[in-house]
Amino acid sequence: MPLEIGRAAFALAAMGLMVSQPASAGVHLSESTRYYIVNGQTGREVVREMARRGPRSGFLARDIAQTWYSPRNDGELVLENGICRVRNPGVRLHIRYTYPRLSDRAAPQLQHRWQAFIEGVRKHEAQHAALAIQMADKIDDLLSRFAMRTDDRHCGKAKREMARRMDAIWKEYDLRQNAFDRVEHRRGGEVDKLVKALTR
């Protein structure tokens, strides 16, 4: 069963870890964290526990940790003076982290290795969050700047164009998230190093 550090992102609708890049003034950011307990007296036992108890990623796979995010767009496309614009634009982004937490019953030597492991895991997930925030900032910029001249009082063509541009932003950042994971999860990559250090 695959075991990875991952992120789960849900399609655009029209989520306590500090991240490296703050959201823009137009993005309202909220964050939450949840944990699952893992037991074991060796690193290998703990890895097996994470493979069994970690957050799901797809039908069969499970992740070590996960960053889930959901951007929600505020505002309404309205026609003013022959131009469709977004009234009261904004983006709400919620990021939810899921991390393993080692049982207090673990041996002191394992707990020491665990601290280094979980620090690396948090660093990995923070990068996923930073990319999500960049995406939300880009969506917010689009909402704030969008303008299309039209005589359609329902802004139908403008809505379709807005949807096309937002879909392009989503796809761009999905590719960036996947590219980051490919580098981190490759043999000899940071995730591989973290797991090997925990199980040595």
Cα(147)–Cα(145) distance, integer angstroms: 6
Classify 172 as helix, strand or coil. Answer: helix
- pLDDT number for residue 13: 28
Distances (CA, A) of 139 to 19, 50, 169: 19, 35, 7
Q: How many domains does the chain have?
A: 1
In sequence order, what DSSP letters do the residues of 81-142 get, joined into one string?
TTEEEEEEEEEEEEEEEEEEEE-TTS-HHHHHHHHHHHHHHHHHHHHHHHHHHHHHHHHHHH
| pLDDT in the model for residue 38 | 95
What is the arithmetic mean of pLDDT over 171-190?
Answer: 95
Instruction: Report the amino acid identity of residue 53.
Output: R
Q: How far is CA 62 from its chain centroid?
A: 16
Global pTM reads: 0.84
| pLDDT tens for each residue of 111-165 | 999 999 999 999 999 999 999 999 999 999 999 999 999 999 999 999 999 999 9
User: Which range of residues forms the domain containing residue 40?
Assistant: 3-199
Give the amino acid at 178.
Answer: N
Digit-coded pLDDT (tens) for 10-56: 332 222 222 334 445 579 999 999 999 999 999 999 999 999 999 98
